[in-house]
Amino acid sequence: MAVVPESLGSEAKLDLLVSAAIETSAIEGESLNRADVRSSIKNHFLSPNEKMAVHDPVAAGISALILEVMDLYEEPLTAERLHHWNELVLPVHNSGPFLGPAGMAGQWRTHPDAMQIVSGPVHNPTIHFEAPPSVRVPEEMQRFLDWFEDDSRALPGVARAAIAHLWFETIHPYEDDNGRVGRAVADVAVCQMLGQPLMMSLATVLSRHRKAYYQQLNKASKDTLDVTPWVNWFGERVVEALEGAFDVIQYVVKKARFWDGLDTESLNDRQLKLIRRMLGQDAPSFENGINAAKYQNLTRCSKATATRDLQHLVAEGVLAPIYSKGRYARYKLDL
């Protein structure tokens, strides 16, 4: 009988946090390097002399934001926290030209022009909504923060999270990256509702519904007298996130049971290496299964050895055939 690796649960949590960081950025049209995000989050759990190099400061910043939301969701939501979050997601732009010569990350916007949310060509843009002028932002945000910490507590948790996200986005308090900070606010509200960190960030779900997400936000921003459709839609996404987290937990339990029933004495080092890779952080690369050629490349063995090892894993009940004919034979873990 095999010893169940303690890393199974932590690897699953790590994967969820990595996805949260990547997906909240993808919603904004920004693609992050998964390896940098993973290293950034993993560094949070390592001692200083074990930390891995991270080459992308944006990946490091958004990873730090995701971790802070999960670790400190019970802390009061303040202007200082929001400013810190905005600085985290805009590390390389803090003195960038589009934020002004002095940089504007980590402070409320101050430009005199109207803050309009637009799309389409520059010569004929579609104006989705216009946020309050910059001069009103401090007052509007203080009203929002007072509501979030006091009056909103009487609301059902999902409604509170939905309204908080919508309210923040309609104020649009920062020069840039209101989206990622606003989704972090929603995550905090959901975590407070649950009384524990939400294993699957809302951004992971919202990214799947990116077009509808923006449509619902735009519609609710224009019709603030009735936000019921927005609250209902957002509530469905919260349920989807909770179901996704439950599916992940079930998968972790299934993997643990798989390891518990594994007879490692009957398997060689090559086969065990494959199993660890298929269950670990490389699992996505095995979505289409494993064949002899891929096994050869992974374990540096001959074609005959690869075929023999894979057939033995099938006989042991470790692998199940996806397609079992000749050189096209392909297998998956029989979880």
pLDDT in tens, 160-210: 999 999 999 999 999 999 999 999 999 999 999 999 887 777 898 999 999
Q: How far apart are CA 99 and CA 84, in angstroms?
A: 16
Work out the average pLDDT over 269-282.
Answer: 90
Structural domain boundaries in the chain: 7-92+130-248, 262-333
Identical fold between 7-92+130-248 and 262-333: no
> pLDDT tier at 119 (50, 70, 90 boundaries)?
low
The alpha carbon dihedral of 33, 34, 38, 39 has a sign of negative
262-333 carries CATH number 3.40.50.620: no
- Which CATH code is given to the segment(s) 7-92+130-248? 1.10.3290.10
Residue 94 pLDDT greater than 60, yes or no:
no
Encoding tokens for residue 180?
């990622």
Token look-up 């995000």 returns 37
Instruction: Please give the Cα distance from 93 to 75 (Å, whole number).
Output: 27
Q: What is the pLDDT of residue 174?
A: 96
Please tell me the predicted confidence (pLDDT) of residue 115. 78
pLDDT digits (tens, 9 = 90+) for 74-83: 999 999 999 9
Residue predicted with more confidence, 166 or 8: 166
User: What DSSP element (H or E) covers 116?
Assistant: strand 116-119
pLDDT category at 311 given cuts 50, 70, 90 is very high
Top-confidence residue, 273 or 117: 273
**Angle formed by the axes of helices 210-222 and 228-260, to 10°?**
150
Element (H, E) at 241: helix 228-260
In percent, how much of the chain has pLDDT > 90?
54
Here the tokens at position 261 are 């029933």
pTM above 0.75, yes or no: yes
**Structure tokens of 198?**
């939400």
Residue linked to tokens 């022009």: 113
Helix/strand/coil for 331: strand
- Computed on alpha carbons and rounded to an integer, the radius of gyration of the chain in Å comes to 24
